[in-house]
Amino acid sequence: MPELPEVETTVNDLKPQLTGLRISSVEVLAPRTIETPSVEEFICCLTGRRIDKISRRGKHLVFSLDNSQILIVHLRMTGSLLIKKSSDLPEKFVRVILRFENGAALHFRDVRRFGRMWLVDNQDAVVGELGPEPLNDEFTPAVLAAILKDRQTPIKGLLLDQKLIAGIGNMYADEALHQARLHPLRPAGSLKIKEIAALHEAIRIVLNKGIRNKGASTDTYFRPSGSKGAAHLEFQVAHRKGEECPACRGIIERITVQQRGTFYCPLCQKRPTE
């Protein structure tokens, strides 16, 4: 699933190619991809608009248009935004196509059809309830401590709650917990001050590393050029069940935490009672 580093990589790749371009036509091949407004209104309102800015909020891509409307894209589990030529025929899993006056096109490829697009007047209608951005200066150890306080939720599950912290998904939560040497089933509120500081640092380390490596192509994620990211090649535990832990040579295990597959090292990430 594309998480913060994959979405940030997509934003960084799209900015120089699409900023300032005007949309000449819109083709919706999978109507349910459009969350709001109606497909007809979506096509009508988006056609002729210029993209003034491309940014990210959590796992959402935010396209600011010249009429102050906002196009928001959530890639969900299997989505990618690919730069093509306007004349290119869509591949099997392309759901929406934006074509531009300069001959470029943006294909929204989504294998499982979970991705969504919104065209709204105010982005808060879609992303207003998201928690703080973990790479912003405002996200301090004290802010993280306040989020964790008195919560009995397993720390892995809390890191995935987008209303508490925006952008962290399954892979990078596993990586951050391993970096901080925390067991994924630890109650969030049980972390001590030093452990909270270690987790805060670990979150920022693994996310920034993921961005530097252009995201993780573990399954269906591709950069806009069609190339793969390399972040997964440096994962310490995520998707590495049965392999040796790079830190201690323990054997990485997989458990389920709140219905999510979770990878960890039982030697590096012991429960407090062990």
Is residue 12, in this structure, part of any structural domain at all?
Answer: yes
Is 2 assigned a catalytic role? yes
Residue with tokens 């919706």: 28
Total domains in the fold of the chain: 2
Host domain of residue 145: 141-264
Q: Mark whether 150 and 107 lie in a shared domain.
A: no
Is residue 200, in this structure, part of any structural domain at all?
Answer: yes
Is residue 136, in this structure, part of any structural domain at all?
Answer: no
Q: For 39-81, what is the HEC assignment?
A: HHHHHHHHCCCEEEEEEEECCEEEEEECCCCEEEEECCCCEEE
pLDDT at 273 over 80: no
Is residue 274, in this structure, part of any structural domain at all?
Answer: no
Q: Mark whether 191 and 231 lie in a shared domain.
A: yes
Q: Residues 229-234: what's their mean pLDDT?
A: 96
Of the candidates 49, 56, 57, 59, the residue annotated as catalytic is 59
Percent above pLDDT 90 for the chain: 97
Is 3 assigned a catalytic role? yes
Q: Mark whether 149 and 121 lie in a shared domain.
A: no
Band (1; pLDDT cuts 50, 70, 90): confident
Domain CATH number, residue 162 = 1.10.8.50
Is residue 170, in this structure, part of any structural domain at all?
Answer: yes
Q: What is the pLDDT of residue 112?
A: 92
In tens, the pLDDT along 64-75 reads 999 999 999 999
Q: Mark whether 254 and 148 lie in a shared domain.
A: yes
Q: Mark whether 97 and 153 lie in a shared domain.
A: no
- How far is 39 from 99, CA to CA, in rounded Å? 16
Q: Residues 48-70: what's their mean pLDDT?
A: 98
Q: Mark whether 110 and 154 lie in a shared domain.
A: no
Of the candidates 76, 241, 260, 270, the residue annotated as catalytic is 260
Mark which of 74, 100, 127 sits at the end of a domain: 127
Q: Mark whether 108 and 171 lie in a shared domain.
A: no
In tens, the pLDDT along 249-271 reads 999 999 999 999 999 999 999 98
Residue with tokens 């440096």: 234
Of the candidates 3, 6, 8, 175, the residue annotated as catalytic is 3
Q: Residues 135-141: what's their mean pLDDT?
A: 98
Q: Mark whether 119 and 45 lie in a shared domain.
A: yes
Q: Mark whether 174 and 62 lie in a shared domain.
A: no
Is 260 assigned a catalytic role? yes
Is 37 assigned a catalytic role? no
Q: Mark whether 63 and 151 lie in a shared domain.
A: no
Q: Could you say which DSSP state residue 232 is in?
A: G
